[in-house]
Structure 1
């Protein structure tokens, strides 16, 4: 109710001001000729002043008086011809003011009815997180999403290449347990834009390899799934991304898609944290940098973060995210006392803590901070960081498992 009262007050205030201007301008006052007369008479007075100061001579003053007098006579004649100032009819002015008020208030209501969300109340943070979790649980599967995507336009390739791919399909069909054949088929199906067939072949390759695969294989599987759905990250694609990040937590492409998924699940806070850290530790030419830079400002706006441009540095942080000492720090530390070295470590931990509090970070950073505080014996701060991390990664079971393990090691969790 308060929203509607404020909205109505603002609309009426703006409309009232505009109507007041319209009504006050009904009387247009004196005609232009009257204003011209005042100007010309002032010019005559200025001529006398300039002559008295010696700025002009008597001959110039006479010519100027003659010209100005001629203009005065013309303006006076025009004034006599026009008569008084023109007035708009009072009824017309009031009618236009009423139409203006109704149009402004009615137009505002119509726009909000189409573009706004009438009846949509304020949502607490816990409610929004719960809604995001529900959306994650009930989102479409890979097959459902692919069924809704229109066919991809076929790329222009030579007929001979299509025939070779068809022969490869037939060969793989006859040899269903040939892992390398499926890997090759996945690559060529993707070249033809057959992303569904490509990710199916890639999944079969991973299955046949019985775990003897790397992060890049799961990352390729996730990317093929996402391309098959036109950019949507399905639960199956998420599982592939999780496997990728378990094997390589700094995989830039997987981190980009994982942040994209968080944005699709209405968790822009997580998406921004992931993308900001990925940008910070990526090289300028990395393929995922351009995609993040195009979307991160909008993601920051959705997350309520005042975005400051992040320049890719190309230098991943040492040991994950906890900043380590450089060569100069190591040399200086050799001559430090135990207390000074401990103070240096505390400074590094404090800097990481400040950055996580202001900019956010990855789950690995939160876990390392909790562990570092535990090593330093600051259990109260470690417990507070642990509780904050639990709220930040609510609903992410993999992240919570990593955070809880770090908290147990630090002695702040059961």
Structure 2
């Protein structure tokens, strides 16, 4: 409210100055007609002097006196009519003064309503940080947030696989300390798309493992929770990410989700620094690169940073398939959404080629990891099973493929 009082008062004061000048005209100064009258009187005296010196004759002198006298009468009439304002139109001045006041006050209010934040108090940096900290501490839990989402029915498989899932669920219910049973249940529920059941089982896996819980365990739990909450990073998901980063502070997937959590809690300054560094360190085809590129410029603006998005770089020479030079040239002219579609298309193309023509273990691992980060856990699981079949008996190839599955969070 204080802001509005100050703004309106300032606008009225400025309007008052304009109004005073318009209504009073040039009061206190010599009116133009008075100056003209004095000039004409001096000209009459000069006519007599010129006639006496013989510069003009009597006939010219009389003609000149007549013209000057006419001008004196007109100037005197104007002086008498205008008074102290020098002929300034009073009514018109008042009208213009009112219009100026309305324009200044109304224009200031309209401009602030468009560009400002009506109803908000002044928010210095420390106050904004404190507000963000309070929001972060009081945000909804995983269960509270999911309670506002549409209820998803369980996906129940049919046939023999359905019977196996039923037995697995019964087994972990009868034997709550069966670690391997919970591991299998978490993976299979995720494969079925029953995300809430999957993260419940994965949470139990971490409890049973205790200090032996690995980076992939925490990442899998965090991804499942975030997927179940449709992108929201709850306090429980944050806790899983924190544990993952304590194991490996450089893990890129955990840093991506941590930056997302910072954005959701009004800390664009911290999120921008984290994502900018992550973008510099990530491979061009890393699944989180496209989402970061689509948002980081807006993030920089909110953080008060002058940032220029670098061009999309080609994949490094690791011998794997990637965008061509023509693709990169075209990508630089695309919107972030179009770049995302291009990357998704490349993933789909790689998937089709591996399914029909096969490929190296590195390509299979890349595809599995990309699908996992994109949230397509069902497809990642299916590709992983197919890769295991293709490289059966090749321990080195299977180890490479398993690394991709670990990045996707579908195996330990």
Structure possessing the higher radius of gyration over alpha carbons: 2
TM-score of the aligned structures, taking structure 2 as reference length: 0.48
